[in-house]
Amino acid sequence: MSHRHNHRSQGISAMGALLAATLLIACGHKPVSPGTGPGSPSAANDQKTVDLMLKMRARALAAPDDAVKASDFAYYVTQLHLQGVTKRRSLSPTLVDEAVKCLDEARKAKPDDAADLLARKGELLLAAEQTDAGVGALRGSMAERPNLLAFKPLIKHYETRKLGAEAEALCRRVLPAMTTNQSRYLVLAECLRASGAATPEDGLKWAGAKEIAFYKSRKRELDARAAAAAKAKAKEGADEAKK
């Protein structure tokens, strides 16, 4: 076979592969990335998340006014977006709307759960890149009751958008509602990070000297624990290597 015929055959093969890929995409199939094909660990994890979501979906649709089931369904749809499964798999385009509907119906049936359900709704809509609606739901959740479920994604949104005034206003509202040292520290740490300041004295000025002192003391304690754990792990590794 001549070199010219060889090159022509290779060109036809390449064109055929390109055409096949184009047809697959046009028919709704998403191109497979390396390490995400059938049988890969990533594909198995994706399938596990999809299966859990479908199970939660069936439960929620069978009892649309059940707050727990609606929240579980919304959580797993959120995970599909956060883990990138929606970019790798062809899934129903109505999942987000279905989850939102379940949350809204549960909120009407259980007004006392409004803060948590709105927080879950906001988290879902942000993950699905419906930013304005997501932020609105999170703010609605905070208006019902200051809570960490809404605080975490909302403060992250403010940090990403560099909305310092909004972040500080949120922090001022949430901190007094925290009843444990763990939740107090978490809020202060998130607020300091969102402020972009280099020191607690600058980033947490609004919280006052008492809260700044608490944050610094707690951070020293946690850093010491982490250092001790790392040292113990290193020693364990060294001991194993000697055997």
pLDDT by residue (tens digit) across 114-128?
999 999 999 999 999
Which has the higher per-residue pLDDT, 159 or 15? 159
Does the domain at 40-145 match CATH 1.10.260? Answer given as no
Task: For residues 127 and 129, give the distance between their C-alpha atoms in angstroms, rounded to a whole number.
Answer: 5
pLDDT tens digits for 21-75?
333 333 333 444 445 555 566 888 999 999 999 999 999 999 989 999 999 999 9
Q: Tell me what pLDDT residue 242 has.
A: 81
Q: What is the largest CA-CA distance in the chain?
A: 85
User: What pTM was estimated for this model as a whole?
Assistant: 0.78
Task: For residues 85 and 185, give the distance between their C-alpha atoms in angstroms, rounded to a whole number.
Answer: 33
Over the chain, what is the mean pLDDT? 87
Q: Tell me what pLDDT residue 174 has.
A: 98
Summarize the confidence of residues 80-89 as an average pLDDT: 95
pLDDT of 17 above 50? no
Domain boundaries, the chain: 40-145, 163-243
Q: Mark out the alpha helices in the chain (DSSP H runs).
A: 3-26, 41-62, 67-82, 85-88, 95-109, 114-127, 131-144, 148-160, 164-174, 181-195, 200-203, 209-242
